[in-house]
Amino acid sequence: TTTGHLIYKCGGIDKRTIEKFEKEAAELGKGSFKYAWVLDKLKAERERGITIDIALWKFETPKYYVTVIDAPGHRDFIKNMITGTSQADCAILIIAGGVGEFEAGISKDGQTREHALLAFTLGVKQLIVAINKMDSVKWSEDRFNEIVKETSNFIKKVGYNPKTVAFVPISGWNGDNMIEPSTNCPWYKGWQKETKAGVFKGKTLLEAIDAIEPPVRPSDKPLRLPLQDVYKIGG
């Protein structure tokens, strides 16, 4: 949902398409999934309301051309998530801020913990943490601070330095703090991250994406091609 909304806000999809998804989602009794359906193309994904396969979409920010690889969060499809993550320059870890949801995600066997570990292990050294569903906890500053503290502790154990990570409170459904600063959290003064290149500050998820540092590509080295989706055709 968050990714779909972000792409829509950045002009990656037209309004008619979103309206079409809204109508189809409502017919299935899943009206709140209209943004998720931008990326969830498979019939099973739409009926179950979860992402199964990875999806690629492109949009432009004021600074970059961004390719979003939307990876599934569901534990049954972790192999697909690995395929998507292995190709990324930066990971956006979307954490559900809802009561009970966050706790389940960072528990010993939780998916949030596993995803952060996999991203780091696969060589994705830059991280943005978007704390989603803040509307469900009435934009509580205490809840946000609690999640930032807990998340900082476990990403540190994984290998990330929390000082280099932007933590952004958002609502993927309503669009708060995605492109423009939200008026729902007057207490939120913005995110800050420190890297070797200096200190970066901002308020929105889009600004955090624009603060990603492009990795140096070893274009002078021999060519290597990562392969994905190999098909054997008999006959």
Same domain, 93 and 204: yes
Strands 126-132 and 166-169: parallel
Q: Which of 70, 97, 121 is the last residue of a domain?
A: 70
Q: Which two tokens stand for residue 10?
A: 């950045």
Mean pLDDT, residues 136-145: 96
pLDDT beyond 50 at 52: no
pLDDT in tens, 164-182: 999 999 998 888 998 899 9
Q: In total, how many domains does the chain have?
A: 2
Domain that holds residue 32: 1-70
Residues 53 and 127 in one domain: no
Residue 53's closest CA among 67, 32, 70? Answer: 70
For residues 164 and 195, the answer to whether their CB atoms sit within 8 Å is: yes
In a domain, 55, yes or no: yes
Residue 223: CB partners within 8 Å, gap ≥ 6? none
Q: Is residue 15 part of a domain?
A: yes
Residue 208's CATH number: 3.40.50.300
User: Tokens 């779909």 — which residue?
Assistant: 4
Tell me, what's the pLDDT at 148? 97
